[in-house]
Copies of this chain bind each other. A is one copy, B any other.
Amino acid sequence: MHNRKLILSLKDINSNKKGNIAAIFSLSNGYMGIQASDPITGANDVGTLVNGFFEYSPITYGEPAAFYPKNNQTIVSLPSLRKIRLLDENNHSFNFSELKNISLDLSNGQLTEVYEVSNQGGEKIEMTVASAIDQKKLAFYGIKFSFKPISYQGKLVVDKHYKIERKNNDGVGEVEDPRKTRLVKSISKHIISSDDFREVIKIETKESQQSVTIEGYSTSEKMLTKRALKTGFDITYIYKVSEGVKNKGVSIEQNSFDKIKEHSHKFWEDVWNQSEVTVSGNDEINLALHFNIFQLNQATGRDGKTNIAAKGLTGSGYEGHTFWDTEMYMLPYFIYTNPEFARNLLIYRYHTLTFARKRAKELGIKHGALFAWRSINGEETSAYYPASTAAYHINGDIAYAIGKYYEATDDDDFMEKYGFEILLETARFWREFGSWTEKGGKKQFEFLTVTGPDEYTAMVDNNYFTNRMAENNLKLAYTVGLRLAKSNQKVFDRLNSSESELREFHHIADNIYFPMNAQYQINAQDDSFFSKPVWPFNKTPKTKYPLLLHYHPLNIYRYQVNKQADTILADFLFPETITDSQLRREFEYYETITTHDSSLSRSIFSAVAARMGKVNHAYRYFTDTVRLDLTDLQGNTEDGLHLANLGGSWLDVVQGFAGMQVSSQGLLKIIPHLPAEWDSFQIRLAFKKRLLDIVIDKSQTQIVLLSGDPMEIVINQSQQTLTKIIKINN
């Protein structure tokens, strides 16, 4: 860890909206998430979020049809672990609260807030809140309140008991989700036990039949304490949030706030050691990058049964659902810095295969699997199929990520137990879903009535991105399958596959049709894309963006207009498929018709521009990307951080400015493109059991092998053997 400032505080963010602060300064550990909401007023508090803890509610359709998903899944807002009641000696509340400072130390995960709290009479005290989440024993969270007099010195009552609204005799109340997410009314909350130092409550969902127990423990004072303020005093609470068997062996007494902080510190040391990304010459961007990586790590489920929600555990936007965002925007970071996390995220997909097989059948595909477009538990829950179920590319996205993970780790154990089964079932899906047609005397394999990444174009034939992903998926199933067949025939048999099935995949992949636009000599987004007129951009005022909020879908769909990178994303993922000159034409064409109305767009344009050597151009996209939540660029950071975009900023630095790729021979390639605004930047990468440190400055690129065996590496097209250190002039 270098010596630059790694503390995020109020002055580093552009908007002091309470909701933004709560989301940005969230603490989480992949299992549970706690927003930095005001402990006194609870304003903008979405409560405690537990990864994978959700409730069903029925989806109501304007006009239903066969095999539409029946149920919403909504992440549940559990009671806040931060809420506190303070009373003065007359039993009047300290109701008013003002945040004076907040700082999040990215090197150890400790959050410190200072509030000025006052009662109706205007008497004030200072409340400092120190908190940390356990990054080893994930059920634990610790919070310490320190009270000091400002203009009030009398007795202070501190009450940390839950107030559960009792609506009927059996003590079951309802918790309602806050605004901007679905109202879930079928949650019940019981106090299991309550004494002076400890309170245990249990929350149960009626429809999904999940339950979680929250145990609160005051380490020294009583949960309801009355003390003279005098010069001040502290109270520390530990919380344990247990879902199922997690951490069941560890009691609260075995943990402590100090241990929690220690676990947290150790975790972040390891993270930065593995995945440091440092920019010299721009502290603002350097801090933002660290923040992004910090939150990316915090958001990630680590148990193979949970994933990353679109907003992580920082807010309840998108109802806590996981999308393709994980595989396309976030997994690369983990694959190349923390393969164990990557592995667990992919195992999550493996655990959803049963739902995916069922969904394929519902779509008329007998053999194979179709993963959910949006879901918590893996069951499809999207209510608008033209931009979800039709986005069949999700299958290819997951397969692509498995291929990349395997390429970077050689993890045969993963492939045998989990990966190949996914590759096989998704390949089977493409085989049955696609169809052979004759085009210009040649039999070709096509994928019809699909939606690609660009959600401003729906239900078209032969989306280039989708076809490319399907090709990759089929070829991966072939190559990995053949390898397994030799090394571990048993695995191969268990899945009822055969060499002839694999050869069929390969034959199909070899004959997939890719639409080209003859006029511009570029890949066509789909069969009909270029017969549409270009969106009338010059007649569209700025207030009408994002288009989806201001135009009927049919209005958008009949024009050439992109919400986000689509063909360009394919070019990014498969650089070997396109020549430099075609890429240049393609980038230029699609850039002019892209609105970037999706937060997934700019990072890809940045990375591709950097690779093309258009570094200034890339840098402009990057600066929007890297501080998107800190500046509230999309205006909805209060609903939660844009996790995919956080990952996108890492992609830009590593796969854009450092030009990192893996060659078709499996060699790591670095092609540096240092932005003019930077003196230098440094990245760390894990690749095939090595840890590398790479520093790129204006004059040279230096690569140090921190651990692992010597390896071959390609720098600026020239292959080198890295034994300890390489320095090459740029």
Residues of A in contact with B (beta carbons under 8 Å apart): 59-63, 65-68, 362-364, 382-386, 389-390, 433, 435-437, 446, 448-449, 458-459, 461, 527-528, 531-533, 548-555, 557-558
Decide yes or no: A363 and B555 within 8 Å by CB, A59-B62, A62-B59, A533-B435 being known contacts: yes
The dominant DSSP class at the A interface is loop
CA distance A68 to B555 in the complex (A): 12
Task: Check A531 against B446 for contact (C-beta < 8 Å).
Answer: yes
- Residues of B within 8 Å of A62, CB to CB, are 59-62, 68, 383-384
- Residues of B within 8 Å of A435, CB to CB, are 532-533, 558
Task: Check A437 against B531 for contact (C-beta < 8 Å).
Answer: yes
Q: Can you name the residue of chain B whose Cβ is closest to the Cβ of A555?
A: B364
- Residues of B within 8 Å of A68, CB to CB, are 62, 552
Task: Check A385 against B66 for contact (C-beta < 8 Å).
Answer: no
- Residues of B within 8 Å of A389, CB to CB, are 552, 554
Task: Check A66 against B548 for contact (C-beta < 8 Å).
Answer: yes
Task: Check B364 against A552 for contact (C-beta < 8 Å).
Answer: yes
Decide yes or no: A448 and B528 within 8 Å by CB, A60-B60, A62-B68, A66-B549 being known contacts: yes
A440 to chain B, nearest CB (A): 12
Cβ-defined partner of A448 (8 Å) among B458, B549, B558:
B558
Q: Can you name the residue of chain B whose Cβ is closest to the Cβ of A530?
A: B437
Task: Check B553 against A65 for contact (C-beta < 8 Å).
Answer: yes
CA distance A83 to B386 in the complex (A): 48
A458 to chain B, nearest CB (A): 7
A116 to chain B, nearest CB (A): 42
Q: Can you name the residue of chain B whose Cβ is closest to the Cβ of A366?
A: B539
Task: Check A528 against B461 for contact (C-beta < 8 Å).
Answer: yes
- Residues of B within 8 Å of A459, CB to CB, are 386, 458-459, 554, 557
- Residues of B within 8 Å of A364, CB to CB, are 551-552, 555
Q: Can you name the residue of chain B whose Cβ is closest to the Cβ of A61?
A: B62
Task: Check B448 against A553 for contact (C-beta < 8 Å).
Answer: no
- Residues of B within 8 Å of A554, CB to CB, are 363, 385, 389-390, 449, 459
CA distance A416 to B174 in the complex (A): 64
A503 to chain B, nearest CB (A): 22
Task: Check B65 against A552 for contact (C-beta < 8 Å).
Answer: yes
- Residues of B within 8 Å of A65, CB to CB, are 384, 548, 552-553
- Residues of B within 8 Å of A555, CB to CB, are 67, 363-364
- Residues of B within 8 Å of A385, CB to CB, are 552-554
Q: Using A65-B548, A448-B532 as known contacts, list a sample of 13 further A-B pairs with CB atoms less than 8 Å apart, ordered by residue number in A.
A: A59-B62, A60-B60, A60-B61, A61-B61, A62-B68, A67-B552, A363-B554, A386-B386, A386-B459, A389-B552, A433-B558, A448-B528, A449-B532
A359 to chain B, nearest CB (A): 10
Q: Can you name the residue of chain B whose Cβ is closest to the Cβ of A382?
A: B63
A557 to chain B, nearest CB (A): 5
CA distance A435 to B383 in the complex (A): 31
- Residues of B within 8 Å of A362, CB to CB, are 552
CA distance A385 to B61 in the complex (A): 12
CA distance A347 to B263 in the complex (A): 78
7 shortest interchain CB distances as A-B pairs: A62-B383, A364-B555, A63-B384, A67-B552, A449-B558, A60-B60, A63-B383
CA distance A66 to B532 in the complex (A): 21
Q: Can you name the residue of chain B whose Cβ is closest to the Cβ of A437?
A: B531
CA distance A435 to B558 in the complex (A): 10
CA distance A60 to B448 in the complex (A): 30
Q: Can you name the residue of chain B whose Cβ is closest to the Cβ of A519?
A: B438
- Residues of B within 8 Å of A527, CB to CB, are 528, 531
CA distance A385 to B552 in the complex (A): 10
Q: Can you name the residue of chain B whose Cβ is closest to the Cβ of A386?
A: B386
- Residues of B within 8 Å of A533, CB to CB, are 435-437
Cβ-defined partner of A531 (8 Å) among B383, B461, B531, B557:
B461
Q: Can you name the residue of chain B whose Cβ is closest to the Cβ of A532?
A: B448
**Complex A-B: 23 CB contacts under 8 Å:** A60-B60, A60-B62, A62-B384, A65-B548, A66-B548, A66-B552, A362-B552, A363-B555, A385-B552, A386-B459, A389-B552, A389-B554, A390-B554, A433-B558, A435-B533, A448-B531, A449-B532, A449-B554, A459-B459, A459-B554, A461-B528, A461-B531, A527-B528
- Residues of B within 8 Å of A448, CB to CB, are 528, 531-532, 558
Task: Check A528 against B528 for contact (C-beta < 8 Å).
Answer: yes
Which one of A65, A458, A558 has the highest number of Cβ atoms from chain B below 10 Å of its Cβ?
A558
A57 to chain B, nearest CB (A): 11
A373 to chain B, nearest CB (A): 12
CA distance A528 to B515 in the complex (A): 14
- Residues of B within 8 Å of A548, CB to CB, are 65-66
CA distance A551 to B361 in the complex (A): 10
CA distance A205 to B68 in the complex (A): 33
A323 to chain B, nearest CB (A): 14
- Residues of B within 8 Å of A553, CB to CB, are 65-66, 385
CA distance A486 to B344 in the complex (A): 78
A185 to chain B, nearest CB (A): 16
- Residues of B within 8 Å of A59, CB to CB, are 62
A112 to chain B, nearest CB (A): 40
Q: Can you name the residue of chain B whose Cβ is closest to the Cβ of A550?
A: B66
CA distance A436 to B532 in the complex (A): 9
CA distance A557 to B461 in the complex (A): 11
- Residues of B within 8 Å of A449, CB to CB, are 532, 554, 557-558
CA distance A437 to B560 in the complex (A): 13
CA distance A642 to B195 in the complex (A): 70
